[in-house]
Amino acid sequence: MDFRRIEMIFIAIFIALDIYLFISLKDNQAVSSTAITSGSQTSQILKDLKDDQITVKPLSNAKEDGYYLASRQKDQTKLATSSQQLTNQVVSFDKTQKTLISELDKPLTYRKNHALLAVKAFMKSNNNVVLADQYRYSPELSSDQQVVFVQKVPGGVMMDEHGQLVFLIEEGQINQYTQTYANKIQILREKEMTKVSAKEAVIDLYTDNEIPNNSKVSWVKLGYSALLDANSSTVYVPVWQVAIENKNSKSVVVKRINAFTGALMKNRSDVQ
């Protein structure tokens, strides 16, 4: 008898039950503003955004689809074991953060505005970066200070710290990178439509006073983010990541809206 398989089945059942109870509680506690926003109200809100000097490019009102996903926390050591094949770099592994940290023996150099090309060439060798083919470049999260790749998962990409490959740029060179990886991703439930569109996510943030005056919505991206930890596993859901830039300081804060429920998730900000 395959006890490992039985164990995984029971874990998945318990996680699914936890998700159901959690979402039911959320739905009973709050009603998303998008459910009661009429066309005329939306038009007025968009006018209010302009009056408050908040710049927003046209956004889609189409619904997307996605899964409830999970990865087992005790299986997050694949990076540590795979890192033994890496060469020409000093590698350490932070067990608490489950993060691989690499210091390159020889910095990557590149022509101006061609950092991405240099990184992609570097990633072609398994001796330079493990599991490189399981990541995709993210222009939204990248900047002059970093080149970011996000982990590919069923139905999309990981858009939080659980599955990212980040190359740090300092003085025109790349000397190090950090890497996280969500291992053994499982689909917990059948694919379903989101309740919130990109436009509705921004409207929700504005009506909840989460977008300050004199700012700009730089980008809106749907990706997976951690929802909760249950039964030694982490559960992920599709989340609208909304980057809000202060027009004066140029600092960027990323707000997150659960695409299934419309709930504002725990705030996480990035200064770029």
DSSP output for 127-142 = TTSTTGGGEEE-TTT-
Q: What's the pLDDT at 13? A: 40
Q: No. of H helices and E strands in the chain?
A: 5, 15
Rounded to whole angstroms, what are the CA distances from 87 to 55, 135, 230? 46, 20, 37
**Residue pair 180/79 in contact by the 8 Å Cβ criterion:** yes
pLDDT of residue 11: 60
Q: Which residue has the tokens 């996480």?
A: 268
CATH for 77-179 (2.60.40.10, 3.40.50.300, 3.40.190.10, 3.30.310.160): 3.30.310.160
Element of type H or E holding 205: helix 198-207
Which pLDDT score, from 0 to 100, does residue 27 have?
A: 52
Q: What's the CATH architecture for 3-70+186-258?
A: Beta Barrel (2.40)
**Per-residue model confidence (pLDDT) at position 229:** 79
Per-residue pLDDT of the chain (272 residues; tens, 9 = 90+): 455 654 564 465 455 545 554 554 455 344 444 444 556 687 888 889 999 999 999 999 999 999 999 987 665 567 888 888 999 999 999 888 789 999 999 999 998 889 999 999 999 998 999 999 999 999 999 999 999 999 999 999 999 999 999 999 998 899 999 999 998 899 988 899 999 999 999 999 999 999 999 999 999 999 999 988 777 788 899 999 999 999 999 999 999 999 999 999 975 444 34
What the block records as the tokens of 65 is 């689809």
pLDDT at 128: 97
Instruction: Name the pTM for this structure.
Output: 0.84
Beta strands, E only, the chain: 54-56, 65-66, 69-72, 89-94, 99-109, 135-137, 146-153, 156-157, 164-170, 173-179, 186-187, 192-193, 215-230, 233-246, 252-258
Closest C-alpha among 258, 265, 267, 264 to residue 195: 258
* Domain limits, the chain: 3-70+186-258, 77-179
Q: What is the pLDDT of residue 19?
A: 58
- Cα 207 to Cα 62: distance, rounded to the nearest angstrom: 20
184: left (phi over 0), alpha (psi -120 to 50) or beta: left
